[in-house]
Amino acid sequence: MISSNKKIVTIIAHIAAWACFFALPYLVFFPRMLDANFSMSDHMIASIICNNLFLVFFYYLNTLVLIPKLLMKEKWLIYTLTMFCFLAMYLYVPKYIATWIAPPEIRNFPTNTAGRGRPRTGSSRRSFVDFFNIAIFLLVFTVGTCISVIQRWLQTEETRKETESQKLQTELSFLKSQINPHFFFNTLNNIYSLAVVRSDKTAPAVMKLSSIMRYILTETTQEHVALHNEVDFIKNYIELQQVRLTEKTTVAFSTDGLIDEKLVAPLVFIPFVENAFKYGISTKSVSHIEIKIAATPKSITFFSSNFIVPSENNMLENTGIGINNVKRRLELMYPGKYTLTNEIKDNFYLVHLEIITS
């Protein structure tokens, strides 16, 4: 339907443009047409019609055939020679056809003392008409070529943007497919640990994992999800992690603002949450994890803080598949519209992410 409407609009635009173009001769002769003695001869009318029909034929032949077949394929010499041939044809062919349809009137001019007529007047008039016709031909040629080149450029740009969009979608899908197995791998390890010690927390943990898997399989295929669904997902993840925590680790999770009204890219916060649990809990020393999500009319803010537990693998900066992937996803989903900072302060690892949503 959209394509059909676009074609109709294009046809109407072409008809309107040609109507305005055909009206040019009448606008030129309008001051003279006010004179009661002025009248356009049949030959003049036939000449105008033949010239205009030739120009219409040349315009569409040039834009639909010559430009795609010659100009766009860099056949410059053939294209240039073809244009000169059409210009020569335009100067003579319509004139002869008009003469055949309606011969010009023969006027008898008074002769001078030398017995000669006034050929200079007719010659000057023919020179002006030829110059005018050449100018009109070049105008039609220039307009048609420019429009065609611009249309080709716009089509190329549209194709390029579509290709880039498809490439980005493919890359995003690949990154998300990396995040999900990475997340499940760590979670299944946790449940395995519970099962080994025959903990009563195993069954609830499996149920939480089932809920998380359902969310990932049904919701995260979209480009954006409701922020409150992402918050519920993080809550389930935290509760799943808490089943293996001791009393030495405390977790504080809070939300604030317009949580129910915002959209966000799926799984964009979970790598930071996962990192906080990976590097911020200990069975021997007291540790604390704090996670906050806030939403305002213009932005979504995520904050996490976790105590750095000494470990041989505790390399927090620029490590982990999940963190690297989420940084790349932020670049793709929110280019120039996010700020991500991470720092170590007083033996705490702090992450602050702000996403501009408007």
On the question of pLDDT at 272 being above 70, the answer is yes
Of 163, 197, 231, the residue at which a domain comes to its end is 163
Note the pLDDT of residue 302: 96
Compute the mean pLDDT over every residue in the chain, rounded to the nearest whole number.
76
**CB-based contact 316:349 (threshold 8 Å):** yes
d(CA 237, CA 187): 9
Q: Report how far residue 352's alpha carbon sits from residue 299's, in angstroms, rounded to the nearest whole number.
A: 13
Tokens 């004179």 correspond to 35
Residue in this structure with the two tokens 């943007």, named with its chain if needed: 161
Domain annotation covers residue 349: yes
Phi and psi angles of residue 203, each rounded to the nearest 5 degrees, phi first:
-60, -50
56 vs 181, more confident:
56
Does residue 123 belong to any structural domain of this protein?
A: yes
The larger pLDDT score, comparing residue 262 to residue 103, is at: 262
Pairing, β 338-345 against β 287-295:
unpaired
In a shared domain, residues 7 and 131? yes
Nearest to 91 by CA among 41, 142, 122, 50: 50
Q: Tell me the C-alpha distance between 90 and 80, whole Å.
A: 15
Residue 114 lies in a domain: no
Res 258: pLDDT = 92
Which neighbouring-strand residues pair with 356? 299
Q: Same domain, yes or no, for 126 and 245?
A: no
Cα 34 to its chain centre, rounded Å, is 53
CA nearest to 265, candidates 337, 167, 327, 333: 333
Query: Has residue 305 got a pLDDT over 90?
Result: yes
* Structural domain range at position 60: 2-104+119-163
Task: For residues 273 and 293, state if they share a domain.
Answer: yes
Tens of pLDDT, residue by residue over 125-135, are 566 666 777 87
For residue 289, being part of any structural domain is answered with yes
267 found inside a domain: yes
The total of structural domains in the chain comes to 2
pLDDT score recorded for residue 325: 72
* Nearest residue to 326 (alpha-carbon basis) of 230, 192, 211, 241: 230
- Regarding whether 154 and 209 lie in a shared domain, the answer is no
Instruction: Give the pTM.
Output: 0.52
Q: Are residues 308 and 219 in the same domain?
A: yes
CB-based contact 341:327 (threshold 8 Å) = no
- Domain with 279 in it: what CATH number? 3.30.565.10
- 109 lies in some domain: no
Q: Which residues of 296-323 are buried (b: 16+ CB within 10 A; e: fewer)?
A: eeebbbbbbbbbbbeeeeeebeeebebb
Q: Which of 163, 181, 198 is the last residue of a domain?
A: 163
3-state secondary structure of 332: helix
DSSP string computed for 25-91: HHHHSHHHHTSTT----HHHHHHHHHHHHHHHHHHHHIIIIIIIIIITTT-HHHHHHHHHHHHHHHH
Do 306 and 181 reside in the same domain of the chain?
Answer: yes
d(CA 218, CA 272): 22
CA R_g for the chain: 39
Of the candidates 258, 253, 251, the one whose C-alpha atom is nearest the C-alpha of residue 227 is 258
Higher pLDDT, 227 or 239: 227
Is residue 111 included in any domain, yes or no?
Answer: no
User: Are both 151 and 169 inside the same structural domain?
Assistant: no
Q: Is 63 left (phi over 0), alpha (psi -120 to 50) or beta?
A: alpha
- 3-state SS of the chain: helix, strand, coil percent to 5? 60, 15, 25
Number of residues that this document lists for the chain: 358
Residue written as tokens 């100067």? Answer: 91
pLDDT exceeds 50 at position 262 = yes
Quick: pLDDT tens for 86-145. Answer: 888 888 888 778 788 777 765 554 555 444 444 445 556 566 666 777 878 888 888 888
pLDDT at 252: 93
DSSP result, 104-142: PPP--PPP-TTS---HHHHHHHHHHHHHHHHHHHHHHHH
Rounded distance, CA 314 to CA 292, Å? 23
pLDDT at position 254 is 94
